[in-house]
Structure 1
Amino acid sequence: MSTLSGIKSSTILVLAATGKTGRRVTDLLGSAARPASRSSATRFDWSTPDTWEPALAGVTAAYVVPPDNPALLAEFVPLAVKAGVTRLVLLSMRGAPDDDPFEAAIKESGADWTILRPTWFMQNFDEDLFAAPVQHGELALPAGQGIHPFIDVRDIAEVAVAALTQPGHAGQTYDLSGPESLSFPEMLAMIVAATGDPVLYTDVEPEEFTASLRGFGYPDEVADLVTMLLVRIRTGAEAHLSDGVQRVLGRRPRTFADYLGSSSFA
């Protein structure tokens, strides 16, 4: 891969390497990646600081999927810089405030940094939050008829690799989205057309949805955050497109139809 020329093997630490973005970043980096997670050969666990330093040994750049607790990231970043990391790429989220503590930890690190602020992931429909409800034929959310430009995580991964391996991305915050804003009923209709299996969309009250997430074992703060983000879609606050993919990769982001063609729905 031309973007990786001159980069030594295992010099780029990829956290959450078994996750949706992390495993794709790992695949794109190839031998330049040091994939790390609780189940990887290089073990990394945010709740076990003893795993941090061994994972950082000899790396010069890191793709950071942050923990739930910003204090842990604030502890990790100085350790990474001390170990020789000179470039940090953080997976943040659309709408993160300018004083976001996760982003602040990266920006104040002293290393070259890049922030990625993506929209909701298309892959949530077959790999994560929406997968089981879709499989069982009903998706109940507090999003109403609101529209949102979901992004294919493959685009996030390609942007991350560019920021990790190419010049010109230091100090940049990239807002990333797909090329079209769609409602949940529209996206489910496309899934139904691809699979032939009916899926009902039900609009529910935010309180009911939050309670359901807690019932599935989500921590209160996560349940509240997910609900808040879906309500933002409902109100139209998340309908706008972002141009980060075009700016970094020089091409249009993948569409929802592109995602479906490469997913388990195909």
Structure 2
Amino acid sequence: MTHERILVTGGTGMTGRRVSHRLAERGVDVRVGSRSGAPPFEWHDPATWDAVLDGVDGVYLCFHPDLAFPGAAEAVSAFAARAAGRGATRMVLLSGRGEEGARRAEEAVRAAFADLTVLRCAMFAQNFSEYILVDAVRAGTVALPVPDVPEPFVDLADVAEAAARALTEDGHAGRLYEMTGPRSLTFAEAGALMGEAAGHPVSYLTVTPADFVAESVRAGMPAEVAEGLTELFTEILDGRNAEPTDGVERALGRPAGDFADYVARAASEGAWS
């Protein structure tokens, strides 16, 4: 069953634009929820909610910058309740693996929408090629305020496909999919793969939280976001999430995409040129 109209919040972001593309391929009428959208949407301005929910059958919930940030659980659960009250029948929540704040948000949203599908994700592989770490990879040193722990980086192509299926197909209501890649790599191992593809060495460096915040702010990130990410990284990148899961395979019926395949694709698209 294909829904007539699906709202994709964070629709211009890393996951949202991929979800929007997958839905459009399925012939879905996609409404992009963003500050620059028509109508505009803002998580922290409930006055913008009703207009973007008008006539919507399904909703992809992607809270920016992360569900672990203060106020996220309250905002996203209130929005989910509003969506349910206006007739939405399917809902997918993007969540984070090993985040206590995200877990609280999941529970709050599920209380508002019992048939919620949760995509609880490992760290995105695409962080190295599109977001906070792309310049670091280009410069040759990835620096984070955590030890060189293993992480089963998940490919956002898999996350977007899972979201699109859950929003347009039966069988996903009420499900929780813990989304990871098929194997764990340390940041140094990931750097070696990216360096080989990029044509220059990429090393990993553990830095202090203060240094990470300072460098992020120098690069243009708002201080509150840099501080929030520091807290998030130190929480989730402590080894607790090192083991891969079968969530992608359960959601999609096929193995998760490997990090090496992501690296080859990103390099071919010029991510680190």
TM category, shorter: 0.7 to 0.9
Change (3 A) 1:240 1:232: farther
From 234, 246, 262, give the equivalent of 1:259. Answer: 262
**What is the alpha-carbon distance in structure 2 between the residues aligned to residue 8 and residue 170 of structure 1?**
14
- Which segments of 5 or more consecutive residues in structure 1 lack a partner in the other structure? 1-5
**What is the alpha-carbon distance in structure 1 between the residues aligned to residue 145 and residue 101 of structure 2?**
26
Give per-residue Cα distances to partners, 1:114-153, cap 9 Å, x unaligned: 1110000010011001012222232211233211000000
Question: Matched residue pairs, number?
Answer: 259
Letter in 2 for 1:40: G
- TM-score normalised per structure 1: 0.88
**What is the alpha-carbon distance in structure 1 between the residues aligned to residue 237 and residue 51 of structure 2?**
44
Equivalent residue runs for 1:1-150 within 5 Å:
6-9=1-4, 11-30=5-24, 31-32=27-28, 33-67=30-64, 68=69, 69-70=71-72, 71-97=74-100, 100-150=103-153
**What is the alpha-carbon distance in structure 1 between the residues aligned to residue 11 and residue 121 of structure 2?**
18
Kindly indicate whether residue 157 of structure 2 is the aligned counterpart of residue 160 of structure 1: no
Letter in 2 for 1:157: A
- TM-score normalised per structure 2: 0.86
In the TM superposition, residue 223 of structure 1 has moved relative to its aligned partner by 3.6
Letter in 1 for 2:262: Y
In the TM superposition, residue 234 of structure 1 has moved relative to its aligned partner by 5.6
Q: Which moved more, 1:245-254 or 1:63-72?
A: 63-72
CA contact (8 A) 1:194 1:265 kept: no
- Which segments of 5 or more consecutive residues in structure 2 lack a partner in the other structure? none
**What is the alpha-carbon distance in structure 2 between the residues aligned to residue 29 and residue 217 of structure 1?**
31
**Secondary structure, counterpart of 1:140 in structure 2:** strand
**What is the alpha-carbon distance in structure 1 between the residues aligned to residue 252 and residue 76 of structure 2?**
28
Letter in 2 for 1:36: G
**What is the alpha-carbon distance in structure 2 between the residues aligned to residue 227 and residue 217 of structure 1?**
12
Corresponding position of 1:237: 240
RMSD: 2.3
Give per-residue Cα distances to partners, 1:72-114, cap 9 Å, x unaligned: 2233222211211122110010013498332123211145211
Change (3 A) 1:62 1:152: same
Q: Which moved more, 1:174-183 or 1:89-98?
A: 89-98
**What is the alpha-carbon distance in structure 2 between the residues aligned to residue 196 and residue 99 of structure 1?**
37
**Percent identity at matched positions?**
39
Corresponding position of 2:207: 204
In the TM superposition, residue 43 of structure 1 has moved relative to its aligned partner by 2.2
**What is the alpha-carbon distance in structure 1 between the residues aligned to residue 80 and residue 238 of structure 2?**
36
CA contact (8 A) 2:41 2:49 kept: yes
**Secondary structure, counterpart of 1:100 in structure 2:** helix
Kindly indicate whether residue 189 of structure 2 is the aligned counterpart of residue 186 of structure 1: yes
**What is the alpha-carbon distance in structure 1 between the residues aligned to residue 230 and residue 102 of structure 2?**
22
CA contact (8 A) 2:192 2:203 kept: no
**What is the alpha-carbon distance in structure 1 between the residues aligned to residue 39 and residue 108 of structure 2?**
24
Corresponding position of 1:3: none
**Secondary structure, counterpart of 1:127 in structure 2:** coil
